[in-house]
Structure 1
Amino acid sequence: MENTLDWNTSVRKDSVFQSTPFEKNIPVLLGLLSVWNVSFLGYPARAILPYSQALEKFAPHIQQVSMESNGKGVSIDGLPLPFETGEVVSNHDELMSNFFAQPDALAYGKTPEQLQKENVSENLIPHKTFSGNRPSLSLLLPELGAYNVGQLLAIYEHRVAVQGFVWGINSFDQWGVELGKVLATQVRKQLHSSRTQGAPLEGFNYSTSTLLKRYLETSSEQKI
C-alpha cells in the first residue's frame, strides 16, 4: 500500500507540473530563473542552503541531478552550445539566523562608502566590499514530512528538466555518466588482474598509467 501511495503521489506531482500555468508553475519558474542566472547573467554557481539537519543529504542529491544532467557542452542535435549550461551547486551548514540574513546580504552587498563610514581600514575595504545584486530564493516548509520532502525533490528535478528544455539539451541522457562507468569498469578489471596475476598496465594514457602504478604500489605496501 505504501508503494502505491508513493507512486500515486509521484504521478500527481508530474501532472501538476504539466498542467499548471507557467506563471504559477514553481519548477518552471525556478528553471527559467536558473537559465537567466547562468546563461544571461553569467553566474556559474548556485548555493543550496537547507537549514535543517534532516536535509543534510538534500543538497548532494540536487548537486548530482543538476550538474550531471545539465552540465552539457552540446545540444540535443550534437552542436556545440554558445552559452553556459548547468550550475555548480554548493552547500553550507549555517544557523537559521543566517538564513534570514542571506537574501539582504546577497541583494544589497556592502559598498566601500558603507565600510568607510564603519571606520574599516583602507587596506581591508577591497576585501570586505561585496557588490550585491545577486539573485536568491528562499523556501520555507511548514513541516519536514515525507510529503514536503517529496514536493521539494519534485520541484528541483522538474526545474532541471525546464532548464534543459530552454537550453535545448537532453538533461537525462547521462552519456557522460555512462562513459565514466565504462571506464571505471576497465580500471577495476585492470586493478584486479594486476594484483592477482601481475598483469601489466595496458590501454590507459601515460598519466593515468602512472597514477595506477603508484596506487598499486602503495596499496600493496599497505596490504589493502
Structure 2
Amino acid sequence: MKQRPSDGLSPAKNGQLSYSHLAVTIGTLLTEGASVQYGFHFDALRCTGCEDCVEACCAQHGIPRSLSFRSVESYEGGTWEESEDGATTTMLFTYFLSLSCNECSAPLCVAVCPTGALRKDARTGLVSLDESVCSGCGNCVEECPYGAPKINPDDGRAMKCDACNGSMSSAVSGVGPLVVPSCVEACSEHALEFGDIVRLRALYGSVASVPPLPPVEVAHPNLVLTMAPAMLDSLRWEGGREGLLERRL
C-alpha cells in the first residue's frame, strides 16, 4: 500500500477533488493525526469587534486589509411573532466572529491543490503554502469554507495564514520557541488563544460551528468556540425560520 508522505498530504491530480481522494484524505488524517495539532480558541463573550487582530495581522505580514489573513465578521438575525391582538414580539441577536485559517484536519484546500503548494505538516498540523510552486489556479480559494486563502493581485498566486509560524516544526522538536500569532497578541480582551488543540478542547469544550459557519464534518476545523448567549439564540432560530431578518458574513 502506498504510504502517505511524511510531511503532509499528497495533492489531488490535475486539481480535481474526487470523492475517493477526499475520503482517503479525511480517513488518514483522523486516524493518524499530527504529533501536535495546533489550533485556535475564540471567546465570543470577550470579543468586542474592535478588529485589533486584523490590524495586527496586516502589520505583521505587510498586507492591506483586503488580503488580511484574519477577519472579524458579524452575524445578525432574529424573528418576530404577532399575537392575536396585533402586538409583535421580537427576538434579535448579533455577535462577532474572528476567523482565520482553522488548520483543518481534513483541509479541502490541500485536497484540491494541483501542485502540492499546500500541505499539512504531520508534526504540527499546520497547513502551509509554498508560494513558489503555486500555480494561481484558485482552487483553494473556491473550496475553503472559511475563506482562508487569498489570491495576491500582484502575482496571481495564493497566500494564507501560517499562524505566524513558518517554522513551527522547530518549536515541536524543541529547537525553537513557540511563536504566538500576532492576532492573538494584539487582542486586548484575550478573546483569542493559540495552542495544542487537545489542551484547548480540554479547557473550553469542543464546539466549533455556529451560524454561519459550516458543520464541522465539512473539514474538521481545529477551532474551539466559547459561546455567547446570542450564539445560542442563533442556533435556536437558524434554519430558514420565517422572520429571519438578516444574515451577513
TM bracket (short chain): under 0.3
Q: Relative contact order (C-alpha < 8 Å, sep 6+): which is higher?
A: 2
Structure (1 or 2) with the greater helix fraction: 1
**TM-score normalised by length of structure 2:** 0.25
